[in-house]
Amino acid sequence: MANKGSIPTVNGRCMVRKNGSLSVANANGKCPNCCCKPKILATFTTLNYGVWDLTPYQGDNQAPPGSVWRLRETGAGLVYGSGNVDQNGKLVGLPDSFRSSYSYAGYMRIEIGCLQENGTTKWP
């Protein structure tokens, strides 16, 4: 049980950001979300029911730990999958591939988003 005035963490510590808010650092003293910048990890155009191989993006060190990802078609703004990024920078739950169900071009991308202090996600 935590003592009065403390915040329990697992292999980490609590730190105060420059703006006065709190963040939990990992055991190495790094704050994964403190320096997160939204980015586009990869893009692909599907044509004629095309298939996008997503396996190159399934390993470690793909995105900042603690961030989030989504697989999005930019024309209609449809999201075909999303998930968290684990402590190793792996996109948890990213499928092996994306298969388009349309004959026309679909402009796909894997986006990495950053969780904001107000609970929203900032996307590229």
- Model pLDDT for residues 53-87, shown as the tens digit of each residue: 999 999 999 999 999 999 999 989 999 999 999 99
Query: Residue 55 has what pLDDT?
Result: 98
**Interatomic CA distance for residues 16 and 79, integer angstroms:** 34
Residues 37 and 22: their CA atoms lie apart, in Å, by: 18
The residues, ordered by sequence, that sit 6+ positions from 120 with a Cβ below 8 Å of its Cβ are none
Residue 3 has a pLDDT of: 45
Percentage above 70 pLDDT, the chain: 72
DSSP E strands, the chain = 13-16, 22-25, 39-46, 51-53, 68-73, 78-84, 97-99, 106-115, 121-122
Inter-CA distances, 123 with 3, 58, 85, 108, Å: 37, 20, 14, 15
Of 111, 110, 124, 112, give the one whose Cα is nearest residue 53: 110
